[in-house]
Amino acid sequence: MLVVEHIHEMQKWSEEQRLQGRRIVLVPTMGFLHQGHLSLIREGRKSGDRLVVSVFVNPTQFGPCEDIASYPSDFERDRGLLEREEVDIIFRPSSRAVYPEGYQTAVEVERLGRTLCGAYRPGHFRGVAVVVLKLFNIVQPHVAVFGLKDYQQFIIVSRLIEDLNLNINMVAVPIVRDPDGLAVSSRNYYLTQEERKAALCLQRALGRAENWVRQGERDGRKITNQVIAEITSEPLARVEYVQLCDLKSLEVIESLHDEALLALAVWFGKARLIDNIILKAEM
Ligand code: AMP
């Protein structure tokens, strides 16, 4: 396994692999790897012959008051995990290399980037779009793997690929959860024991929503209000949003017809956790 830090070296390697007819798979991450990332890597392995995992905490997707300074990292641990997964390359550029002096180009997926998390993290998805496009240009993958825990990110990158005619296939990987139901996340590291226990209300509330729909509830507002009530019964939870929306446009849905995304962001202490579930009218 190679650890590549320089952009030109990464590009050269990818060009050589392409000339040899290899299919390159990219799994973008911000490091501090967990089972969710490993699931993406194992899924990615099936879609090509060379696997690149990028480890880059992208400064442009963090707001000025957000957690970039405290974002957890442990590169030696990540390296060990990736070696065991037989990854070919860890691409780990510096922020300076990705955003050199004079950098000024923006990439924006407009409407999709302003709803859900985008409404509370202005500029976040601009940062995501630019870094993903950069990684695509540097690594030149045939396939890119993303997790559905960041459902909005998945839709935005799909839109970017389509709108800019990028020749890349997206692979989506279902949410990986701890045995007690909490979606695994690097940010779970911020949780105290008490907050970790409190955060189980998210999975409980999403599960209840599924039950209400099974029992015939179709009213979007009622579903989201019930989810909010369930979460706020947990005193350590601070709800940022709970929304029922269309699977593709991410626009709010008044009434559930076939399928919809129920997405949420909730704070527990210093940790902002996101989770989601797809609700189906016919379950
Ligand atoms: P991050 O390192 O948090 O930027 O995440 C890198 C990739 O891993 C993204 O595509 C995430 O959606 C995905 N990911 C993170 N947590 C999970 C999870 N619990 N299940 C599935 N994918 C995940």
282 — pLDDT class (breaks 50, 70, 90) = confident
Pair 186, 81: CB distance under 8 Å: no
CA 185 to ligand 1: nearest atom:
16
Each residue of 15-73: pLDDT tens digit?
Answer: 999 999 999 999 999 999 999 999 999 999 999 999 999 999 999 999 999 999 999 99
Q: Taking phi first (over 0 means left), then psi (-120 to 50 degrees means alpha), and beta for anything else, what does residue 56 get?
A: beta
Would you place residue 184 in the very low, low, confident or very high pLDDT band (cuts 50, 70, 90)?
very high
Q: Does the pLDDT of residue 156 top 70, yes or no?
A: yes
CA distance 175 to 183: 7
Of the residues 42, 62, 150, which should be mutated to test ligand 1's pocket, given the most ligand atoms within 8 Å of the CB? 150
Name the strands in the sheet holding 271-280, side by side, starting at the edge strand that comes first in the sequence.
237-245, 259-268, 271-280
Mutate to test the pocket of ligand 1, among 37, 77, 145, 157 (most ligand atoms within 8 A of CB): 37
Handedness of CA 139, 141, 147, 152 (dihedral sign): positive
As a whole number, the mean pLDDT across the chain is 97
Find out whether 92 and 3 touch, Cβ atoms under 8 Å.
Answer: yes
Which ligand 1 atom is the nearest neighbour of the CA of 177?
19
The enclosing H or E element of 162 equals helix 151-163
In this prediction, residue 45 carries a pLDDT of 97
| Among 131, 163, 171, 243, residue whose Cα is nearest residue 24 | 171
Closest alpha carbon to 259 in 248, 243, 271: 248
Residue 37 Cβ contacting ligand 1 at under 6 Å:
yes
- For 228, the token pair is 């909010």
Distance 101 CA to ligand 1 centre (A): 30
Q: How far is the CA of 157 from the centre of ligand 1 (A)?
A: 14
Q: Is the CB of 32 under 6 A from ligand 1?
A: no
For ligand 1, is residue 40 a contact (CB within 6 Å)? yes
Burial class of residue 21 in the structure, from the number of CB atoms within 10 Å of its CB (0-12 exposed, 13-18 middle, 19+ buried): exposed
Is the CB of 93 inside a 6 Å radius of any atom of ligand 1?
A: no
Q: Is 139 in the pocket of ligand 1 (CB under 6 A)?
A: no
Catalytically annotated residues: 37
Q: What is the rounded average pLDDT of the residues 105-123?
A: 97
CA distance 249 to 155: 8
Of 149, 9, 170, 151, the residue nearest 93 (C-alpha): 9
CATH homologous superfamily for the domain 186-278? Pantoate-beta-alanine ligase, C-terminal domain (3.30.1300.10)
Q: Which atom of ligand 1 is nearest to the CA of 33?
A: 2
Q: Is the pLDDT of residue 283 over 80?
A: no
Q: What is the CA radius of gyration of the chain?
A: 19
- For residue 176, the 8-state DSSP code is P
- Hey, which of 27, 29, 32, 41 would you mutate to test ligand 1's pocket, going by the most ligand atoms within 8 Å of its Cβ? 29
- Give the single-character DSSP code of 189: G
Domain ranges (residues) in the chain = 2-173, 186-278
> For 221-273, what is each residue's pLDDT tens digit?
999 999 999 999 999 999 999 999 999 999 999 999 999 999 999 999 999 99
Burial of 64 (C-beta count, 10 Å sphere; 0-12/13-18/19+): exposed
Exposed / middle / buried, residue 25 (Cβ in 10 Å: 0-12, 13-18, 19+): buried
Cβ(149) to ligand 1 under 6 A? yes
What integer pLDDT is reported at residue 254 of this predicted model?
96
Q: Which atom of ligand 1 is nearest to the CA of 187?
A: 3
The pLDDT of residue 95: 98
Q: Is 53 in the pocket of ligand 1 (CB under 6 A)?
A: no
Q: In what order do the strands lie in the sheet with 169-173?
A: 2-4, 89-91, 50-55, 24-29, 143-147, 169-173
Q: What is the CATH number of domain 2-173?
A: 3.40.50.620
Closest CA to 110 of 265, 255, 261, 249: 249
Distance in angstroms (rounded) separating the CA atoms of residues 236 and 131: 34
* Count of CB atoms situated within 10 Å of the CB of 53: 28
- Ligand 1, atom 22: nearest CA belongs to which residue? 147
